[in-house]
Amino acid sequence: MQAPCPLGQYREASGYCVPVWVAVWDYSTHFFSNVSYDTWQSGQAEEGSAGRSPGDETNYALSVASETASFVANRPYWSDTCQKTLADIGISVADLPSGLTADPISRLQLAAGSVVFLDGTTSRAPLGDLYTNSAVPGLAALVPLQTVADVFAGSPGTRAMTELGGNRIWIRPSYFNQIGSGWAAAVVMHELVHNIIGLTDDDLARNLGITLVNGSRDITVRLLTDCLN
Amino acid sequence: MVRMVLLLLGASVSLLSQVPLDEAGKEGVLQVLIVDSFGKPLQGTFAVSVREVVNGVPGKEVRIAPKVTLGYGTYTLTVRGSPAYPVDKKITIDRRYQLVVVPLFLAPIESPWEGNTVRGRLPAGSRDRRCTYVRLLSALAETEYAEAAAMESGDFVFQNIKPGRYILVTLGDVGICDVVATDVLPKHEQELTLP
Ligand SMILES: [Zn+2]
């Protein structure tokens, strides 16, 4: 197995590690600008979430997530590369009840229009609820008897969780208040993919032909690279 | 319980045997039985596929039904069913009817996600005999196992264990001290009781 790329880099198909460029969405100009991962990280550290009460922090983060979903739902231009990546990841062309046919990006945008964001750190929803719409529901019986909040508390690296085949996304507010808008869009897109096709990270990675070295984050980096740059 | 495990492992060993050359052109029925990590048959929507391996090189992936007729030969069988980890298994079709049991382990939606923590303590007799090397082996999948060294007190801990049926073995210079069948339940933490 190849050694993982340093933080802020990803492995291209050529096998070389190259820097990740982070697309930062400017809400005043409505354009992305690309900055290096290091620049973006140092910007986040300065920005932080200082001065907000926990309640404000949650509300702010939920509004950031909703605005991000709204951006995904309404963005008019998506590249062919992105369309192909979403198809590779498992979002097929589908017939809608209206009689129209939706391509992968349209399905992503439809999902973005109906998503509901919740605070994962306080949610009493049973973890098993996130699995009930999956392709093999019997496996939900093997999910630990924990709440979503238990998982967020026990796994600090979890920044967002999604129900398979539903429309709910649980977020970690402190994380959403720190990340840039381009990265937030990639995280939301990642979670929407779980909503739409009901597959776990291991299945998504396999569909993309990648090995998860940094976990979930590697899928988000791929979406950022192919769809938001 | 242990007998069932040995039978399953025996079945998978015979599947790996080579196809004699004079059996080229023959066909056999493959039946894939998909179970959970406790051995309970699963219902749902699965993606089952094979890739024929010729001269060590896997060919094109072909979707199959859980019961299918295949030519004699070696294949990589892949079973996927969300929310489980995808499973790849090398099989050889060399009989008219073959059954392959594929256990699926629950996968987290977001990766990585820590699984169960399993704690236990060596029986006093095993500790005295220095059987301090502990292995936790899945009863159904040879790829799922964990190893730990017990502390001076006899306490040991396994982390990130997927729920399922396991065999716990304690070992030392004297050989095997304990063999215990146990279930790792879908809880976050649990205590194993050894006799
Ligand atoms: Zn994910």
Tokens of A188: 């939301």
Whether chain A has a CB inside 8 Å of the CB on B184: the answer is no
Whether chain A has a CB inside 8 Å of the CB on B96: the answer is no
Pair B71, B42 in one domain: yes
Q: Are strands B164-172 and B175-184 parallel, antiparallel or unpaired?
A: antiparallel
Winning range, highest mean pLDDT, from A27-36, A183-192, B115-124: A183-192
What's residue A29's pLDDT?
Answer: 47
Whether chain A has a CB inside 8 Å of the CB on B33: the answer is no
Pair B132, B161 in one domain: yes
| B1 located within any domain | no
Q: Which of the four pLDDT bands, split at 50, 70 and 90, describes residue A156?
A: confident
The helix or strand, by DSSP H or E, that contains position A179, with its residue range, turns out to be none
Is the per-residue pLDDT at B55 higher than 70? Answer: yes
Pair B100, B125 in one domain: no
- A205 vs A214: CA distance, rounded Å: 12
Domain that holds residue A114: 51-228
Contact A139 B80 (CB under 8 A): no
Indicate which of A132, A148, A171, A203 best probes the interface with B, i.e. most B CBs within 10 Å of its own CB. A203
| B7 located within any domain | no
Residue A140 DSSP class: G
- B171 vs B177: CA distance, rounded Å: 6
- Distance (Å) from the alpha carbon of A125 to chain B's nearest alpha carbon: 15
| B87 located within any domain | yes
pTM: 0.79
The pLDDT > 90 percentage for chain A reads: 62
| A43 located within any domain | no
Is the per-residue pLDDT at A86 higher than 70? Answer: yes
Tokens of B53: 């391996």
| B15 located within any domain | no
Q: Give the chain B residue whose CA is nearest to the CA of A165.
A: B82
- Distance (Å) from the alpha carbon of B29 to chain A's nearest alpha carbon: 25
Mean pLDDT of chain A: 84
CA dist A124 → A114, A119, A151 (Å): 22, 10, 11
Whether chain A has a CB inside 8 Å of the CB on B80: the answer is yes
Per DSSP (E only), the strands in chain A are 9-11, 17-19, 21-26, 31-36, 94-95, 101-102, 116-119, 160-162, 168-171
Nearest to B11 by CA among B69, B72, B94, B68: B94
- Distance (Å) from the alpha carbon of B130 to chain A's nearest alpha carbon: 34
Domain end point (choices B73, B104, B135): B104
| B31 located within any domain | yes
Is the per-residue pLDDT at B6 higher than 50? Answer: no
Pair B47, B96 in one domain: yes
Pair B86, B143 in one domain: no
Segment among A88-97, A99-108, B2-11, B66-75 with least mean pLDDT: B2-11
Number of A–B residue contacts, CB under 8 Å:
108
Whether chain A has a CB inside 8 Å of the CB on B135: the answer is no
CA B54–ligand 1 middle distance (angstroms): 35
| A26 located within any domain | no
Residue A141 DSSP class: G
How buried is A74 (Cβ within 10 angstroms: 0-12 exposed, 13-18 middle, 19+ buried)? Answer: exposed
Pair B121, B186 in one domain: yes
| A130 located within any domain | yes
| B17 located within any domain | no
Pair B122, B177 in one domain: yes
| A72 located within any domain | yes
Indicate which of B111, B118, B161, B185 best probes the interface with A, i.e. most A CBs within 10 Å of its own CB. B111
Are B169 and B134 in contact by the 8 Å Cβ rule? The answer is yes
What's residue B16's pLDDT?
Answer: 44
Contact list, A161 vs chain B (CB under 8 Å): 109-110
| A13 located within any domain | no
The CATH number assigned to the domain holding B142 equals 2.60.40
Pair B94, B54 in one domain: yes
DSSP states of chain B: -HHHHHHHHHHHHHHTSPPPGGGTT-EEEEEEEEEETTS-B--S--EEEEEEEETTEE---EEE-SEEEEESEEEEEEEE-TTB--EEEEEEE-SSEEEEEEEE-B--SSSS---EEEEEE--HHHHHTT--EEEEEESS-TT-EEEEE--TTSEEEEEEEPSEEEEEEEEETTEEEEEEEEEE-SSSEEE----
- Distance (Å) from the alpha carbon of A193 to chain B's nearest alpha carbon: 11
Nearest to A113 by CA among A163, A59, A167, A61: A167
Tokens of B165: 């049926």
Nearest by CB: A142 against B112, B113, B186: B186
- A81 vs A222: CA distance, rounded Å: 11
Phi first, then psi: what are they for B194, rounded to 5°?
-95, 145
SS3 A225: helix
- Distance (Å) from the alpha carbon of A155 to chain B's nearest alpha carbon: 7
Task: Mark out the alpha helices in A34-177 (DSSP H runs).
Answer: 37-47, 54-74, 80-89, 104-114, 148-154, 173-176
Complex confidence, ipTM? 0.78
Contact list, A204 vs chain B (CB under 8 Å): none
Beta carbons within 8 Å of A129's beta carbon, 6+ residues apart: A163
CA A196–ligand 1 middle distance (angstroms): 12
CA B78–ligand 1 middle distance (angstroms): 22
Q: Are strands A168-171 and A160-162 parallel, antiparallel or unpaired?
A: antiparallel
Is the per-residue pLDDT at B99 higher than 90? Answer: yes
What would you measure as the largest C-alpha separation in chain B, in angstroms? 61
| A35 located within any domain | no
| B75 located within any domain | yes
Beta carbons within 8 Å of B57's beta carbon, 6+ residues apart: none
Nearest by CB: B83 against A131, A145, A212: A131
**Structural domains in chain A (count):** 1
| A170 located within any domain | yes
Is the per-residue pLDDT at A60 higher than 70? Answer: yes
**Structural domains in chain B (count):** 2
The CATH number assigned to the domain holding B93 equals 2.60.40.10
Domain end point (choices B104, B138, B168): B104
Q: Which of the four pLDDT bands, split at 50, 70 and 90, describes residue A30?
A: very low
Domain that holds residue B74: 26-104
